[in-house]
Structure 1
């Protein structure tokens, strides 16, 4: 890719989800041509995740482990069958995964929206 892999989308600052008071909507639940703006910062990712958990009522957890760079590892568990996990998704395991956490947040947001609204 020309330009050293620059997507033209800067990493955002601040917290547009107000610490989890608001929740994200993925592109699948927005009108055509919608623009999500900048890539979410780590603060925005955590806040978006908390907002989704608050809105849709899924269980969240933080592992007792941290990454090599001392980042917190967190996740959620959803679905009606608590006896088995059917899907495991992760993002930002490698430093070059720019935007992967954001993409996962918006994918999950779309899936939860579709489940609720049909």
Structure 2
């Protein structure tokens, strides 16, 4: 398995793209941490990963909340952080810029 003993944080892990990424990483052996704003849908994805033998955890948070994101950082150095705020048709400029910020900096935490 390519990602055995690796940790992956998938922001937006309950959406179509995020859940597909999370499932793919889990199939390759990664321990997956799903984040998002809706616990029920995150738990559904985590349950499906666990049903396939994977390891999945859920954290309800907003990817732009730096303090909450910092708490998810693994204690081990080997991890991937997937920012996934896909917005294909934003209703306004502010929404488009928020999605862009999350995709570019959502997982970045600088101490």
TM-score range, shorter chain: under 0.3
Instruction: Please tell me whether Structure 1 or Structure 2 has the larger radius of gyration of its CA atoms.
Output: 1
**TM-score normalised by L of structure 2:** 0.26
Structure with the bigger percentage of helix:
2
Structure with the bigger percentage of strand:
2
**TM-score normalised by L of structure 1:** 0.25
